[in-house]
Structure 1
């Protein structure tokens, strides 16, 4: 009985913890990007993650990937989830696109994932879940719209818009690919291989297209440490666990809560405006995610609790 209670608690806490951790990524980017170029930032971050994850793999005596095909699958996930998603987001924000608008574009990911998961993974999306996905999108639009209405005219160029779209498509494809090919791989060494693949893309981009000028300010160092330890290790490992245990659509719906959570954090940390429309959007998005994620009582009794 105690074991069931603990499992149920983990099932409820894990998604909320992931949203909280993931939402701090935009806050960290705001602190760090003024002092470093995006692909240089990501390359340094990935090197630190590789060192730390490698040490954790050895410390906990976890098995390393043995087959080249396993490295290949993990590297593809890394290129999509880390290089493609983060690179696109950082590139768009660094080019002047507001973080809120970037988040709105990327927040289309749950809908795309639900659509493609039916074709690629054979997952069944219920009417209740489609309603939740629609409400989530409405809620995110309200939160971001509240911020954009009371800020300067957004800086949107074809190249920054392309960066945000690359991030959207990459995170969608990465989630589906991980669910299809990465579920059976060791967690630590599989994630280590993901970052190796990610670094193989961002490092050449940084070397070829950036100046490598870095201002080692406390804001940059703090941002780098936070994004490395909390996001690239803590949140990503938690995401891998959630993808293993849940459907791709259910996991992706959690990303609807990221922009609202970020808006609340920006209000607390920077005093940014949090208007009535944003608060309403937060409530609507939360209801939408609940419709997708929470199992109805009739089905919960017949199924097992999963993280």
Structure 2
């Protein structure tokens, strides 16, 4: 269900961003996510006790929501929804590279192979898809990769800033992060509305997409994801990464009539294989090979 919801977010942004603009789409997404989470906290009567962690949570919101949502909205101006969904699957690859480069995480030969295959898959997607290679397409791909790099970095920062400091109710983490993302994007939204191109706000289907991506694909999805982490752990929860691309491609085909080439599908399979190599645990060495102590 979570993969279906997150896969649909690329469809909704593909509908909204060309009509409202990338900045407006990103801001409205986090704003309605913030409103939805506030309603949930109110209904559940959860106390707003951040235990001194509000500032780092808001900063995490900028890294984990504000910048990525803006990047995906920019990508949605030019890339089909299926492209963004496949590129989103590179999040664990980015996490592995950032962990190795900045957080003293070790990468085995298996994981390095996954990283190399991931780069190969991205190259195939960029050069053999249904969209002709151009500066705008490259910009869209780079925007998606910036978003996944932010996601990869945010995981380590969450461990350092929140988990290592005693943790916090996941509903409060989600709410605080969307508050930070909303405040971060607010000046850009204000400037765009006052000085940017004129936007036709009276388009019902675009508003329906904005409300869906905010309330369902962000607020509700965060709660489901954090619940998954609590129930089955972060490693197993990462398996949602494998399921998002098929759903993103399916929704784009069903609603927008997007088509995919064989080269694009091959690139998507390679990306999924590379993600599996990165996130799957290594097989334990049999005890008899380790010797006795």
Structure 2 match to 1:181: 161
Q: Are 1:190 and 2:178 matched, yes or no?
A: no
Q: Are 1:209 and 2:178 matched, yes or no?
A: no
**Runs (5+) with no aligned partner, structure 2:** 286-293
- Tell me, yes or no, if the aligned pair for 2:113 and 2:277 is still in contact at 8 Å: yes
Question: In terms of mean alpha carbon deviation, does 277-286 or 223-232 score higher?
Answer: 277-286
Q: Are 1:33 and 2:13 matched, yes or no?
A: no
Say how many residue pairs are matched: 277
Structure 2: how far apart are the matches of 1:220 and 1:128? 44
- Report deviation, 1:298: 5.0
Structure 2: how far apart are the matches of 1:293 and 1:31? 32
Structure 2 match to 1:154: 134
> What TM-score comes out, normalization by structure 2 length?
0.76
RMSD, aligned α-carbons: 3.5
- Report deviation, 1:114: 0.7
> What TM-score comes out, normalization by structure 1 length?
0.73
Kindly tell me: are residues 221 and 157 of structure 1, through their superposed partners in 2, closer, same or farther at Cα, counting changes over 3 Å?
A: closer
Q: Are 1:135 and 2:121 matched, yes or no?
A: no
Structure 2 match to 1:116: 98
Give a deviation string over 1:6-49, Cα, whole Å, max 9, x none: xxxxxxxxxxx444332222211111123212222333332322
- Report deviation, 1:177: 1.4
Kindly tell me: are residues 159 and 133 of structure 1, through their superposed partners in 2, closer, same or farther at Cα, counting changes over 3 Å?
A: closer
Kindly tell me: are residues 119 and 144 of structure 1, through their superposed partners in 2, closer, same or farther at Cα, counting changes over 3 Å?
A: closer
Structure 2: how far apart are the matches of 1:152 and 1:120? 35
- Tell me, yes or no, if the aligned pair for 1:46 and 1:199 is still in contact at 8 Å: yes
Kindly tell me: are residues 78 and 126 of structure 1, through their superposed partners in 2, closer, same or farther at Cα, counting changes over 3 Å?
A: same
- Tell me, yes or no, if the aligned pair for 1:260 and 1:282 is still in contact at 8 Å: no
Structure 1 match to 2:253: 267
- Tell me, yes or no, if the aligned pair for 2:67 and 2:150 is still in contact at 8 Å: yes
- Report deviation, 1:140: 4.4
Q: How does 1:1-307 map to 2 (within 5 A)?
A: 17-68=1-52, 70-94=53-77, 96=78, 109-118=91-100, 120-147=102-129, 150-156=130-136, 166-183=146-163, 184-210=167-193, 211=196, 213-240=199-226, 245-246=233-234, 255=241, 258-259=244-245, 261-295=247-281, 298=284
**Runs (5+) with no aligned partner, structure 1:** 1-16, 300-307
Structure 1: how far apart are the matches of 2:227 and 2:98? 21
Question: In terms of mean alpha carbon deviation, does 194-203 or 253-262 score higher?
Answer: 253-262
Give a deviation string over 1:103-161, Cα, whole Å, max 9, x none: 677665433321232465554443333333433443444345432xx434534399878
Structure 2: how far apart are the matches of 1:146 and 1:262? 18
Structure 1: how far apart are the matches of 2:265 and 2:145? 26
Structure 1 counterpart SS, 2:24: helix
